[in-house]
Chains A and B, each alone.
Chain A
Amino acid sequence: EAGVAQSPRYKIIEKRQSVAFWCNPISGHATLYWYQQILGQGPKLLIQFQNNGVVDDSQLPKDRFSAERLKGVDSTLKIQPAKLEDSAVYLCASSSPGHSYEQYFGPGTRLTVT
């Protein structure tokens, strides 16, 4: 089966610009996660969806970050406006009860804000 797909793989923007990332989870996986990973640290959960509903967005900086999963399949994460400290890798993961809730990760999007 196909893995988690993400695009773009790399993005360079200037501060105050906006950017969007796309994720398509493993087919049939109801739960989708967006993580932020800053260099040298572990992944930090930004938002978790169950189908098209938000389960946990407690660590999402809602003044500038937004995410949606309108049809319960693919998802978009947006940053507007970007700050220098948003430079990081943005990882998408998905899981399913059928796979014992094991999380599978996409290749990530490396964002550089200049």
Chain B
Amino acid sequence: GIQVEQSPPDLILQEGANSTLRCNFSDSVNNLQWFHQNPWGQLINLFYIPSGTKQNGRLSATTVATERYSLLYISSSQTTDSGVYFCAVEHSNAGNNRKLIWGLGTSLAVNP
């Protein structure tokens, strides 16, 4: 099946720093989602990005589907950015059932 790899697994930043998180996937996918799981466990949708680049405030994401990777950029990080960032790719099986395949996440800690 499809493999989803995220890097780095852990990241510590000082407030105000920039960072790039990467997601590699092993096969063609329908779509890709980035999520932020906050310290209370809530999964928050960041981007739904099958290809191209999207921006939302200090966050932006780029997916290059032909090369099977996606990048999440965090600029001017804040302590509220702490948590785990998950990449999940959508794949259809033989029965055309769409399901998400998840990476293991990048755990981010932003220190004041």
Contacts and interface: CB of A to CB of B under 8 A. Distances in A.
Contact of B97 (A37, A43, A56): A56
A93 B100 CA distance: 11
Nearest to B47: A102
Contacts, number: 48
A104 interface: yes
Interface residues of A, number: 20
Contacts of A91: 43
Contact of B104 (A42, A100, A104, A105): A42
Interface in A30-71: 37, 41-43, 45, 48, 55-56
Interface in B2-52: 30-31, 33, 35, 40-45, 48
B99 to A, nearest CB: 6
Interface of A: 37, 41-43, 45, 48, 55-56, 89, 91, 93, 100-105, 107-108, 110
7 contacts: A48-B99, A55-B97, A56-B99, A91-B43, A93-B43, A102-B45, A105-B42
